[in-house]
Homo-oligomer: A and B are copies of this chain.
Amino acid sequence: MYTFLNDKFLPATDATLGVNDLAIQRGYGIFDFFKTVGDKPIFLDDHLDRFFHSASRMRLDPGKTRDELTAILAELRELNRIPDSGVRITLTGGISTDSITPGRPNLVITQFNMPAPGKACPPPIRLISYPHQRQLPDVKTIDYLMAIYLQPHIRDRGASDVLYQRDGIVTECPRCNFFLVTALGTLVTPNRNILNGVTRKHILTLAADAGIPLEERDVHLDELATAREAFITSTSRHIVPVSHVDDIPIGVAHPVATTLTSKLHHLVNAGN
């Protein structure tokens, strides 16, 4: 397996960063992550848009144009030949001379085997809610401190993931966006203080095309009790239905999640 580092393709195990990189010293860096299905990058334009947006917001210069980065990604896929994979593009703060000012960013691109999501919804999962707001939520930073810190707490509660909320307003899971279907059948998802998920964006388009009523707005914790359905979305998992948030049961059937999973699978596999 090869990894790209700044200007070279290296065997993955040789790809290292100096211990004074600001990612290691100060948790300062951004990334993006897309999948390939049947060797085809999925929604690459969206992921590159967001990667350059994150880099710009954190004042990190990727050192490559969009075309150069696209060519590097193609060459990496050619070297690794993993049809169904995840590709992670990371940009770090680089070596700082004063441990607070970013240096020249390090660009790291890794690829690894990742099975493509299927045509059918996976079984529903339980979430717990937790009061937290990600820093710079519109930026895909490397900050997953709370996500990792909370893992034992999530497991102890018999749940699979955590749903962040602040002052009773739900935002997102650490690596997924959150949707619910109201009692009246409207698909609702938060639209502020969240990461703008690429899967979220395509779900919204697919739902609109299917004539499902949509609202992008604040979602309150107390709306969960009357929700007909809830699910989370991400690049690696597409759509995962939610059976409970804390001790609140949410729906039993997941018709909207099922419909959208099928449509998303079709979109992702179009042309394969």
Top 7 A-B residue pairs of the complex, sorted by shortest distance between their CB atoms: A27-B27, A16-B16, A26-B144, A27-B143, A27-B142, A15-B19, A23-B24
B-contact 0/1 string along A135-176, CB 8 Å cutoff = 110000111111111011000000000000000000000000
- Is residue A235 contacting chain B, with contact meaning CB distance below 8 A? no
Residues of chain B within 8 A (CB-CB) of A230 are none
Give the residues in chain B near A147, CB-CB below 8 Å.
26, 100
With a CB–CB cut-off of 8 A, which chain B residues contact A100? Answer: 144, 147-148, 151
Q: Are A24 and B142 in contact (CB under 8 A)?
A: yes
* Assembly CA distance A7 to B20 (angstroms): 18
By the criterion CB–CB under 8 Å, are B93 and A148 in contact? yes
**Chain B neighbourhood of A110, CB < 8 A:** 19-20
Q: How many copies altogether? A: 2
Task: Count residues of chain A with CB under 8 A from any CB of chain B.
Answer: 44
Measured CB to CB, the closest approach of chain B to A179, in angstroms, equals 22
User: Is the CB of A101 closer than 8 A to any CB of chain B?
Assistant: yes
Kindly state the separation between the CA atoms of A132 and B21 in the bound complex, as whole angstroms. Answer: 24
In Å, the complex CA distance between A31 and B28 comes to: 15
The answer, yes or no, to whether A29 is at the interface (CB within 8 Å) is yes
A5 with B28: CB separation less than 8 A: no
Chain B residues within an 8 Å CB radius of A90: 19, 24-25
Give the residues in chain B near A144, CB-CB below 8 Å: 25-28, 100
**Does A92 belong to the interface (CB within 8 Å)?**
yes
